[in-house]
Structure 1
Amino acid sequence: MPSRRAYLTTLVAAGLAGCVGEGPGTGTDTDSPTATTAPGTIARSDVIVEAAAVQYSYRHIEQVDWNGIQPADGQFVFVTVDARPADSAPARSAFTLVADDEQYAPTEIRRWKAVDLDVPGSAYVPDREDEAPRGWLVFETPAQLESPPTLRLDRDPAPAEWTLDADLATAPPPAWEWSVDAPDTVAPDTTFDIAITAENVGDGPGAFRGAVNFSYPLYAPKGFDIPLDPGQSGTERVAAEVRDAESVEEIEYGIRTPVGETTVTVAVESDTAAE
């Protein structure tokens, strides 16, 4: 079957130095999502730090059947906290991330709901009656910190701090080149692959996160994560089907990534051509 290569290459550093004080997927940007209590501090027993992870981008629901990708100006530090054992759950504003003598307030997730994160739970919103006081906070920091970040909770009678076991926070950021392949034509009622290939041309490890958004006849996104060390390449194959699409001449698939987007068009053969 003939094929067409829809190609898009981008070479962009995933993080830019600067401070902003504003999901588990199949690939992880950090392999150490645990937290430990910082020496010399008093950790409150009624608030638990469950997990921490560093990501350079995240998927979010842009429409009901469409995923967008939000890249960080530097890096995102996600932290899941559980305040259900507490008599009263601390507000989001009581938490800060401390790193390299700077403090970062929780960032508001842009656009719609974030999905397929590397930490458990949904967003931490303890002031909502229908939400349990458990979930993640996200902080946006420079792309490479000099020391491991610390989560701080300012609350009476004493503050608490946890040093986050997130090695990626102090590593250089990745950067990406990528391409996508799809066939020119497919037979009716068949399944085929859309192949996304990424290369990490940066100085640090990371996950190339993206989504393939399907139009007719299947209105749904499929996310993909390709974890890569510096200098590595990898390919993710996303299965697509054209069931009940005999009468459609062409179907478009939108591919979103942290460093660009493109569209591939696949033609469905007529029944006569398929024979």
Structure 2
Amino acid sequence: MPSRRAYLATLTAAGLAGCIGEEPATGTDTDSPTATTAPGTAPRPDVIVEAAAVQYAYRHIENVDWNGIQPADGQFVFVTVDARPADSVPARSAFTLVADGEQYAPAELAHRMPVDLDVPGSAYTPDREGPDRRGWLAFETPAQLDSAPTLRLDRDPAPAEWELDADLATAPPPAWEWSVDTPDTVAPNTTFDIAITAENVGDGPGTFRGAVNFSYPLYAPRGFDIPLDPGQSGTETVGAEVRDADPGREIDYGVRTPVGETTVTVTVESDSTDTETE
């Protein structure tokens, strides 16, 4: 009979938390901007704020067929803007995130190829022609703000501000305990599940984001997201297969999360009665 192998890692509430709208009461981190202009500012220029989200971590392309996870020191606030209608396209540096009397400049992410964000588009790079005049800006802020953030655009004749409906930014951060379970051995030519279980032991909602990196039959990552309210736990399964693997072969799977990583190994049983499963 296959046995159960588990790995456990714990993050306290003071530790790593959280990607923007990573998703409020439903356990998700995604928030959308309102259509109001902050008092005392000029009417908004023809730049559109499409979406905003708070995340405590994001997946990124570590190499062509491998995903890593980048956690925030506090939280990431992502905002997608569309400057294609504007006559004068603002530079990245013209935008700031304003919260609690502080201004935050757009961040240069440690890993510049994030995937599966909670906002649309690619990175905002207005120095290029075409669709790159629409994209997201990332801001790094403390894990909990006292007031909802606003996006500010400094340009003539007067600055513009957008109030972001980002309730998650003012919520306490989540914290995680997690484990991963696989069978020790599997029959030849079968499929099986890699089960990732997470518990939110923090004081605020969030999404436990991670990836399982495969080395067989192809090198490829498979992401998983587990949205959880405080005190909740949940399990996500990632399917794997050992079709055409030689009996006795050991296959490794790398599991990455915001609070740790591990490798689990599954051995293909030596079985003289190989049968193809559906």
- Structure 2 length as normaliser, TM-score? 0.91
Deviations 1:31-78 (A, max 9, x none): 432333233122424100000000000000001110000000000000
Give the Å deviation of 1:233: 0.3
Q: Which amino acid aligns with 2:251?
A: I
**Cα offset, 1:246, TM superposition:** 2.0
Identity %: 78
Partner of 2:85: 85
CA contact (8 A) 1:29 1:53 kept: no
**Residue 188 of structure 2 is aligned to residue 188 of structure 1:** yes
Q: How does 1:29-178 map to 2 (within 5 A)?
A: 29-40=28-39, 41-129=41-129, 131-178=131-178
Q: CA-atom RMSD, angstroms?
A: 2.2
CA contact (8 A) 2:79 2:119 kept: yes
Count of aligned residue pairs for this structure pair:
270
CA distance in 1, matches of 2:38, 2:22: 31
SS of the equivalent of 1:135 reads strand
Q: Is the 8 A contact 1:125 1:131 kept in 2?
A: no
CA distance in 2, matches of 1:200, 1:274: 42
Matched residues in 1 for 2:66 and 2:149: separation? 33
Letter in 1 for 2:92: R
Residue 12 of structure 1: CA displacement? 2.9
- Quick check: 1:229 aligned with 2:229? yes
Q: 1:42 to 1:59 in 2, by over 3 A?
A: same
- Distance change (3 Å), C-alpha of 1:192 and 1:86: same
The CA distance in 2 between the partners of 1:60 and 1:211, in whole Å, is 10
Which residue is 1:20 aligned to? none
The equivalent of 2:258 in structure 1 is 258
Letter of the structure 1 residue corresponding to residue 254 of structure 2 = G
Matched residue type, 1:177: E
| Structure 1 unmatched ranges of 5 or more | 18-22
Query: What is the Cα deviation at residue 156 of structure 1?
Result: 1.0
Moved more, 1-10 or 72-81: 1-10
Return 5+ residue gaps in structure 2 as ranges.
none
Partner of 1:220: 220
Deviation at 1:9, TM superposition (A): 2.0
Q: What SS class does the counterpart of residue 93 from structure 2 fall into? A: helix
Cα deviation, 1:5-50, whole Å, max 9, x if unaligned, reads 2212212337679xxxxx9989974343233323312242410000
2:246 and 2:52 map into 1 onto residues whose CA distance is 47
Q: Are the equivalent residues in 2 in contact too, given 1:14–1:143 (CA < 8 A)?
A: no
Q: TM-score, normalised by structure 1?
A: 0.92
For the residue of structure 1 that corresponds to 2:132, the secondary structure is coil
Q: 2: distance between equivalents of 1:5 and 1:145? A: 39
Relative to structure 1, the CA distance from residue 73 to residue 198 in structure 2 (aligned partners, 3 Å threshold; closer, same or farther) is same
